[in-house]
């Protein structure tokens, strides 16, 4: 993982390196069965080089503690795009194509059982990879699908993005329901493998 981390930190493959403060490779437990994938770093992540440390990150930490009953450092947290797009604009298709090999390299190393996609961009990326129909996050959240990777089949669990719940309070209960479902999924999948 250190190798991927170094590559990300020094990456100049797209123009985002010109405006970033720090690239944000991702962090957490590289032996985890769960990888959470956000969209791209925001302002605080760009200043610190760490994923999900701003307001959305605080909410994510609460959801992980409350519903999964674990701490954030028990899972691996990363993003689809590792550098902040200026003014937090959406990442472009080009940026996603250029950066996503880092995410796939992280996943191939960790070999998780579940990938939790936070928001529409990471969800769409994995829908395309799985060749399942692209559905909006409002339709597909909470409904897992599968991708086949070189090390095996991985369940992908689409969830709302925590930032969406901060901007639109009515989505907070949807996000909480996603994490309740996720917690059930994790406990049933660990029972079936033990
Ligand atoms: N939003 C994201 O998608 N990722 C972060 O790291 C922070 C906010």
Is CATH 3.40.470.10 what the domain over 2-189 is classified as, yes or no?
Answer: yes
Instruction: Write out residues with Cβ below 6 Å of ligand 1.
Output: 38-42, 45, 51-52, 54, 56-57, 79, 163
* Ligand 1 nearest atom to the CA of residue 121, by list position: 3
pLDDT at 190: 65
pLDDT digits (tens, 9 = 90+) for 61-94: 999 999 999 999 999 999 999 999 999 999 999 9
pLDDT digits (tens, 9 = 90+) for 99-146: 999 999 999 999 999 999 999 999 999 999 999 999 999 999 999 999
Q: What is the ipTM of this complex?
A: 0.92
Q: Give residue 52 CA to ligand 1 midpoint distance, Å.
A: 5
SS (H, E, C) 47-112: HHCCCCCCHHHHHHHHHHHHHHCCCHHHCEEEECCCCCCHHHCCCCHHHHHHHHHHHHHHHHHHCC
CB-based contact 130:140 (threshold 8 Å):
no
CB-based contact 83:41 (threshold 8 Å):
yes
């Amino acid at each position: 993982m250190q190798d991927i981390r170094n590559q990300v930190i020094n990456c100049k493959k797209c123009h985002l390196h010109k405006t970033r403060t720090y690239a944000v490779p991702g962090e957490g437990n590289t032996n985890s069965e769960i990888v959470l994938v956000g969209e791209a770093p925001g302002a605080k992540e760009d200043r610190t080089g760490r994923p999900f440390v701003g307001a959305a990150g605080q909410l994510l930490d609460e959801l992980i503690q409350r519903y999964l009953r674990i701490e954030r450092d028990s899972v691996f947290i990363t993003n689809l795009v590792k550098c902040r797009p200026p003014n937090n604009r959406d990442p472009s298709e080009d940026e996603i194509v250029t950066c996503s090999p880092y995410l796939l390299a992280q996943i191939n190393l960790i070999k998780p059982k579940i990938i939790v996609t936070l928001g529409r961009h990471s969800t769409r990326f994995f829908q395309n990879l799985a060749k399942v129909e692209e559905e909006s996050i409002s339709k597909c959240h909470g409904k897992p699908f599968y991708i086949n990777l070189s090390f095996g089949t991985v369940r992908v669990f689409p969830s709302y993005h925590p930032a969406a719940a901060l901007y639109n309070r009515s989505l907070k209960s949807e996000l909480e329901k996603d994490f309740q479902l996720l917690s059930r999924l994790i406990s049933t999948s660990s029972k079936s493998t033990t």
